[in-house]
Amino acid sequence: MEVLITGGMGYIGSHTCVEMIEAGMTPIIIDNLCNAKAEVLNRIEQITGVKPLFLQGDIRDEAFLDSLFAAHDIHSVIHFAGLKAVGESVAKPLEYYDNNVNGSLVLARAMRKAGVKRLVFSSSATVYGDPQQVPITESSPVGETTNPYGTSKFMVEQCLTDLVHAEPDWSVTLLRYFNPVGAHPSGLMGEDPQGIPNNLMPFIAQVAVGRREKLAVFGDDYSTKDGTGVRDYIHVMDLASGHIAALKGVGEKAGLHVFNLGTGQGSSVLEMVQAFSQACGKPVAYEICPRRPGDIAECWASTEKAERELGWKATRSVAEMAADTWRWQSNNPQGY
Ligand code: NAD
Ligand code: UFG
């Protein structure tokens, strides 16, 4: 079964490709490499023994997509491609809306022309904004987003929801990821942010490997278990298997399907620092700093719907997330 993976050279897409190959599927990757390295393809091959077909190109290039759909018998599409840095999205809103919203519309139009109507979209817990209660269920309010990145995810969700209303033969699955972390257990693949990492785990990993001096902990005065921010960290391999479960569970069913992909457990910043120190066998230096503007206190997923309807549940612990991140980072101190 040929599945088109947009953004398949990126962090989550590459791990999902490995999981798909191991499940007997055939991913075809398109990526413009704006945030990924070509070396990823070799790593996928080292792990699985299979080098997937990779075509460098942009999802906003409709002629490129048309020729791709004409040349291959694509069964469904998993759409990871997008820009994802919250701070950058505030500075460059037009670029974010063009890439994330316009890019998704061009892709959906090309799919429709080719008669391919099964789409899984990478959405985010960011669409819930500052949640009124935790755990967050799929029917919690969405749309009160706080930055252009989050708004772009919400807009694409809305466009695809309207598309399914208008054309009920589509199958669209919106997967709302919580906080993806970790790496492939081989240590061959992981997250490779360019420049200063925005996210907690890659920052901790770079402190541990000596690339950065210390972690800035953004606030210890939240009303959480230890005052630091609490998130639902999910191992990227669990997230990858969630995509296979979605393709198999609802990927053939017409209509709109929405799932949280998280663990249902919240961990604080200091708990993540502690878990990482244990994994790498040394303390991770940190300093308590002011809150980061726009951050929420806590957020974790209700996982019941995915368990019930997809038979999928995350299984990997925070200790495994830290150990796998450390294996990747220590084997590849400068990334790919
Ligand atoms: P990533 O940046 O590692 O991967 C995205 C990939 O898309 C990159 O390889 C990039 O080169 C490619 N790309 C971007 N724009 C493109 C375009 N116009 N045409 C072709 N390729 C393009 O990010 P990731 O962490 O793997 O995230 C994948 C998806 O999941 C994104 O849509 C992101 O918004 C979403 N998501 C990520 C997180 C997270 O914390 N990592 C959380 C929630 C949702
Ligand atoms: N944090 C620090 N120091 C850092 C980085 C982060 O203390 O250097 C703290 C944050 O304040 C927060 C927690 O670590 O309490 C997690 O922060 P991340 O930046 O790793 O993740 P966020 O929850 O802020 O955001 C992430 C993605 C968004 C996505 C959101 C929900 O970056 O794109 O999860 O899925 F929308």
336 is catalytic: no
226, 160: one domain:
no
Cα 156 to middle of ligand 1, angstroms:
14
Q: Which residues are within 8 A (CB) of 279 and not within 5 positions of it... i.e. 6 or more apart?
A: 319, 322, 323, 325, 326
DSSP states along 307-329: HHHH-------HHHHHHHHHHHH
Split into its structural domains, the chain has a count of: 2
Cα 329 to middle of ligand 2, angstroms:
19
CATH code: domain of residue 82:
3.40.50.720
Taking CA atoms, 119 is separated from 40, 57, 229, in Å, by: 24, 19, 33
> Which ligand is nearest to the Cα of residue 181, counting in written order?
1
Per residue in 197-207, pLDDT (tens digit) is 999 999 999 99
> Which ligand is nearest to the Cα of residue 336, counting in written order?
1
pLDDT at 215: 98
User: What mean pLDDT is predicted for residues 143-157?
Assistant: 96
Cα 172 to middle of ligand 2, angstroms:
27
Q: Which residues are within 8 A (CB) of 167 and not within 5 positions of it... i.e. 6 or more apart?
A: 112, 117
Confidence of residue 167 (pLDDT cuts 50, 70, 90): very high
Pocket test for ligand 1, best of 19, 30, 31, 233 (most atoms within 8 A of CB): 31
158, 175: one domain:
yes
32, 103: one domain:
yes
Pocket test for ligand 2, best of 96, 200, 204 (most atoms within 8 A of CB): 200
Per residue in 77-133, pLDDT (tens digit) is 999 999 999 999 999 999 999 999 999 999 999 999 999 999 999 999 999 999 999
Is there a domain that residue 336 lies in? no
Is there a domain that residue 306 lies in? no
31, 140: one domain:
yes
Q: Please name every residue paired with 173 in a beta bridge, in sequence order, or none if there are none.
A: 120, 257
Burial tier of 235 (Cβ tally within 10 Å: 0-12, 13-18, 19+): buried
- The domain containing residue 272 runs over which residues? 183-231+265-301+315-331
> Which ligand is nearest to the Cα of residue 218, counting in written order?
2
pLDDT at 228: 98
Whether pLDDT at 1 is above 90: no
pLDDT at 51: 98
103, 43: one domain:
yes
Per residue in 56-69, pLDDT (tens digit) is 999 999 999 999 99
User: What mean pLDDT is predicted for residues 189-200?
Assistant: 96
**Residue tagged active-site, from 11, 149, 177, 286:** 149
What type of residue is 19? E
Is there a domain that residue 160 lies in? yes
Is there a domain that residue 98 lies in? yes
Q: What average pLDDT does the structure give for the chain?
A: 97
327, 290: one domain:
yes
The residue whose CA has the least distance to atom 1 of ligand 2 is: 200
24, 71: one domain:
yes
Is there a domain that residue 307 lies in? no
Per residue in 244-267, pLDDT (tens digit) is 999 999 989 999 999 999 999 999
Q: Model-level pTM? A: 0.98
